[in-house]
Chain A
Amino acid sequence: MNPLCRITPRHTLHALLLWLICLSPLQVSAQTPESEPDAQSAAAPTTAQPSFEQLVQQLAGGSLRERAATVKQLSSQRDERLADIFNALVAGDLLANKEKPPTIAIREGEKLTDALTGTDLTGTERLRRIPVNNGLRTQLRGQVAQLNLSHPNTDKRYAAVQRFIRDGVDEETASLLRAHQEVEESGRVQDAITTALAVFQLQSGDREIRLAAIDELSGSLEQEARNALRGIAENDADAELRAAATEAIESIQGRISFYRFVENLFFGLSLGSVLLLAAIGLAITFGVMGVINMAHGELIMIGAYTTWGVQVLFPDLIEWSLLIAVPAAFLITALVGIAIERGVIRFLYGRPLETLLATFGLSLVLQQAVRTLFSPLNRSVSSPEWISGALNINPVLSITYTRLYILIFGLMVFFALMLVMKRTTLGLKVRAVSQNRAMARAVGVRSSWVDALTFGLGSGVAGVAGVALSQLTNVGPNLGQAYIIDSFMVVVFGGVGNLWGTLVSAMSLGLINNFLEPYAGAMLAKVLVLIMLILFIQKKPKGLFPQKGRAAAD
């Protein structure tokens, strides 16, 4: 394994190789011990060797036997592109045309890329599949596994080790794995190699080694390890080995259920963060101002549509679309919110039931407006690259980035809002007006202006929540309706006028819902949570954390 090859960018390496080839023999011999310490390939860089590019192009023509020889020559080359080329060749996805020199292409689904330059191809190059037979395929598989083991991508290396375990480990691959384990950096791949070696040792004749291997496997979470152990626990002749294997399986099951619990915990928190995002704007408009805004859900919907709009307007900036959409959604929904406050709610202060009805009417108008303007169908909002995928912590626990980012984002929005309320002049005025309007006016706070801005702030936060939700659910005219009852429940459960209460209640509702789901089913879990909430409000009408003191008086 040559560390230089792994870290040097591709073209630098080529320059180096070319330079090596062109240089005098004396300098070549001086350079080789450093750059090519591997005994197998030490003989490779003689002046007569064809370059990597030439070898790859040779794959296109010739008989199957010549191709096998080319593959052999290629496998002594250290080039980053090799793994992909071999992978494609085995799968029958390596294409070539009849030009001189031929274009070699890798097919990935519909996409064609040049195997050597990495550029996209149009598909007009008259490409044909490079044929391989079974013998060559077997030869290639071994090569591919080795190559994948040193692939720069952790997931590829991990998959290679797993393939070893699945296909069975022999003496040769075991020594290969042992050698690789020493240079491996990722803990996940390390663990997988340990499992592979232990699975190999299970086949050994020595009882002590097998016992040690079982002991080793009892810490592994790989599916294959469990299968191997189960085989021994059920069929092995040796009673002690059977007992040891059974015990190992039990210990693995224990660890798995622990990770399942962690996963549930994470999903619950993630659901809680969605509830938090949906409810937090309401915690301002309802909790602090006491305005029942039934159009809150529609403000979330407008935020989600803003994300879609940003992606439609700037199709080249998908990666940045969410970052653009957050301020855009905040501004748009804040303006809509201020318009609602100035146009309707202003006239209804002190009449909460009327406010409820009027804003509900507004929510219907907004929904229908979106339906008429865009269409009643759901819009597709795409996710940027950096938000998709999952964080694989171990074989039984993986966390999707979308949910992780939304959890973090929810908390960020929460703390930002907290900061605005506690540390800015606006926050001070908002609290003053909500506690004692007359006194606040007397000391010179423009209360109507503060009302409009507060409502704008709460609405803007709803819009920001919409951006986050657009990554989780369908963006359609009914998006908001799905969240409105839940949001009110969160705010009421947490205690009106208390932002911390909203955080606690959102997270605990998310957790309760998620832990009930496996036992009761999604629908019934929701019903049970609602019934629980209804009963809870009877018991503590002011929520978990009621406001105390003068602010509590209506």
Chain B
Amino acid sequence: MLTQRLLLSDRGGMLVLGLVVLMAIIVPICNLALPSSSPFYISNFTVGLLGKFLCFALLALSVDLIWGYAGILSLGHGAFFTLGGYGMGMYLMRQIGDRGVYGHPELMDFMVVLNWEELPWYWQGFDMFWFAMLMVLLVPGLLALAFGWLAFRSRVTGVYFAIITQALTYALMLAFFRNEMGFGGNNGLNDFKEILGFDLAEKATRAGLFVASAISLVLGYLACRYIVTSRAGRVIVSIRDAESRTRFCGYQVESYKLWLFVFSAMLAAVAGALYVPQVGIINPGEFAPLNSIEMVVWVATGGRGTLFGAIVGAFSVNYAKTFFTTYSPETWLFILGGLFVLVTLLLPNGIVGLFDRFRRKGDK
């Protein structure tokens, strides 16, 4: 019954999930088991890149959930992603221990530079993995709860909501740039050594993180799918299409939006937490409003309102970004900008919509 609801009725989703699972099996094997001379060998760089894309896909999923299904455009989802990343980063920093440049058993290098005497209270407990992961979920979740509660209760919608979320991430960026905040200022957190006792420079650890990202993506997808196919999911779609009418029918529009927003923020935070150990750095630049808008473009390009479309979008736009920034960095912004315009003008349903159109033509 549940399989029918989550998977079988969703052919595109099954296809995309199948590809993700396949990738999660093949990529680590080709990376670890094959010698680097083999034509099927997948380099460490590619594993890292694909792992990054998997995190972005999870992030795109969280954006699509609120934008595609509830019509809430958040231009500040990067804030939740980065906060999650900082949570993981703080755990990884505490794991460095006395192996930092200054060799202090407890303080981070940047705290030693600032002449701090002891660990700030908000860094306490981050040496425990379970606590750090709890915070990864709780901090962005609570921020989304407070922010969403204030915003939805006073019926801030549409463009206004988009602009204040953008201001939120902008304000966080400015705040995290300050050294006094205790998050490493401009340089952020980096130079990580190990996670759960596994060396981060080790090939197997990286492959493990890759598999973890793929599993998170699949679980995240199923959770989102569960939500949108539930009764509550239908209410959410009806809020997107006719908010006032749904309210008049007696539904608590605000609480539906709020809990969906909180869930989406936590999903973004998980993506951030998986992203940080794979790229090895987190800094306030991730809060930049441009990043948050890029996420929206992934979703728009892939196909807004279909969950697997978000995954397709995240992979294709990021692949294009990697390709163009490597071979012709000048043109990347032209292409990204052009993509914004073209997708909104010509492809309102994204790549997935394009396939649908072809298929419908074929059916005729």
> A residues touching B (Cβ–Cβ < 8 Å)?
292, 344, 347-348, 352-358, 360-369, 371-372, 485, 488-489, 492, 521, 523-524, 526-527, 530-531, 533-535, 537-539, 541
B8 at the interface (CB under 8 A from A): no
Contact of A538 among B150, B175, B330, B338 (CB under 8 A): B150
Most chain A C-beta atoms within 10 Å of own C-beta, residue among B168, B178, B293, B333: B333
B296 at the interface (CB under 8 A from A): yes
Contact present for A533 and B167 (CB under 8 Å): yes
Contact present for A364 and B158 (CB under 8 Å): no
Contact present for B340 and A492 (CB under 8 Å): no
Most chain A C-beta atoms within 10 Å of own C-beta, residue among B160, B164, B175, B289: B164
Contact of A344 among B166, B167, B341 (CB under 8 A): B341
Contact of B167 among A348, A367, A371, A485 (CB under 8 A): A485
Chain B residues with Cβ below 8 Å from A353 are 73, 158-159, 162
Whether A527 touches B175, Cβ cut-off 8 Å, given contacts A361-B341, A485-B170, A535-B150, is yes
B345 to A, closest residue via Cβ: A347
Contact present for B167 and A368 (CB under 8 Å): no
Contact present for A356 and B159 (CB under 8 Å): yes
Chain B residues with Cβ below 8 Å from A492 are 160, 163-164
7 A-B residue pairs with CB within 8 Å:
A344-B345, A357-B340, A358-B340, A485-B167, A488-B166, A524-B178, A541-B155
Contact present for A361 and B158 (CB under 8 Å): no
Chain B residues with Cβ below 8 Å from A530 are 167-168, 170-171, 174
C-alpha gap A262/B341 in the complex (Å):
48
Interchain nearest-CB distance for B194 vs A (Å): 34
B281 at the interface (CB under 8 A from A): no
B177 at the interface (CB under 8 A from A): yes
Contact of A541 among B154, B300, B340 (CB under 8 A): B154
Contact present for B159 and A292 (CB under 8 Å): yes
Contact present for A526 and B174 (CB under 8 Å): yes
Chain A residues with Cβ below 8 Å from B166 are 485, 488
Interchain nearest-CB distance for A325 vs B (Å): 27
Chain B 317-339, CB-CB to A under 8 Å as 1, else 0, gives 00000000000001001101111
Within 8 A of A (CB), among B124-169: 147, 150-151, 153-156, 158-160, 162-164, 166-168
Chain A residues with Cβ below 8 Å from B178 are 521, 523-524
Contact present for B344 and A538 (CB under 8 Å): no
B59 at the interface (CB under 8 A from A): no
Most chain B C-beta atoms within 10 Å of own C-beta, residue among A354, A367, A372, A538: A538
Contact present for B151 and A538 (CB under 8 Å): yes
Whether A364 touches B154, Cβ cut-off 8 Å, given contacts A354-B344, A530-B167, A531-B171, is no
Contact present for B340 and A360 (CB under 8 Å): yes
Q: 9 tightest CB-CB pairs across the interface, nearest first?
A: A361-B340, A364-B337, A365-B337, A368-B333, A530-B171, A538-B150, A361-B337, A358-B344, A354-B344
Contact of A364 among B151, B296, B333 (CB under 8 A): B333
Contact present for A356 and B155 (CB under 8 Å): no
Interchain nearest-CB distance for A136 vs B (Å): 55
B67 to A, closest residue via Cβ: A353
Within 8 A of A (CB), among B166-189: 166-168, 170-171, 174-175, 177-178
Contact of B333 among A354, A365, A538 (CB under 8 A): A365
Chain A residues with Cβ below 8 Å from B334 are 364-365, 368-369
B332 to A, closest residue via Cβ: A368
Contact present for B160 and A537 (CB under 8 Å): yes
C-alpha gap A372/B343 in the complex (Å):
24
Whether A357 touches B151, Cβ cut-off 8 Å, given contacts A292-B159, A527-B171, is no
C-alpha gap A71/B266 in the complex (Å):
85
B297 at the interface (CB under 8 A from A): yes
Contact present for B155 and A362 (CB under 8 Å): no
Chain B residues with Cβ below 8 Å from A537 are 154, 156, 160, 164
Contact present for A358 and B174 (CB under 8 Å): no
B159 to A, closest residue via Cβ: A352
C-alpha gap A323/B333 in the complex (Å):
34
A358 to B, closest residue via Cβ: B344
Contact present for B330 and A523 (CB under 8 Å): no
C-alpha gap A99/B164 in the complex (Å):
75
Most chain B C-beta atoms within 10 Å of own C-beta, residue among A348, A357, A527: A357
Chain B residues with Cβ below 8 Å from A358 are 340-341, 344-345
B330 to A, closest residue via Cβ: A372
Most chain A C-beta atoms within 10 Å of own C-beta, residue among B73, B158, B167, B343: B167
Chain A residues with Cβ below 8 Å from B345 are 344, 347-348, 358
C-alpha gap A534/B339 in the complex (Å):
30
Interchain nearest-CB distance for B213 vs A (Å): 27
Contact present for B159 and A367 (CB under 8 Å): no
Contact of B300 among A348, A355, A357, A363 (CB under 8 A): A357
Contact of A357 among B147, B155, B160, B344 (CB under 8 A): B344
Contact present for A357 and B163 (CB under 8 Å): no
Most chain B C-beta atoms within 10 Å of own C-beta, residue among A364, A372, A485, A523: A364
C-alpha gap A364/B342 in the complex (Å):
13
Chain A residues with Cβ below 8 Å from B340 are 357-358, 360-362, 364
Contact of A362 among B164, B167, B177, B341 (CB under 8 A): B341
Most chain B C-beta atoms within 10 Å of own C-beta, residue among A355, A358, A363, A372: A358
C-alpha gap A521/B180 in the complex (Å):
11
C-alpha gap A489/B170 in the complex (Å):
12
Interchain nearest-CB distance for A522 vs B (Å): 9
Contact present for B344 and A534 (CB under 8 Å): no
Contact present for A488 and B336 (CB under 8 Å): no
Most chain A C-beta atoms within 10 Å of own C-beta, residue among B159, B163, B168, B338: B163
Chain A residues with Cβ below 8 Å from B297 are 357, 361
C-alpha gap A366/B339 in the complex (Å):
14
A528 to B, closest residue via Cβ: B171
A488 to B, closest residue via Cβ: B163
Chain B residues with Cβ below 8 Å from A527 are 171, 174-175
B297 to A, closest residue via Cβ: A357
B288 to A, closest residue via Cβ: A481
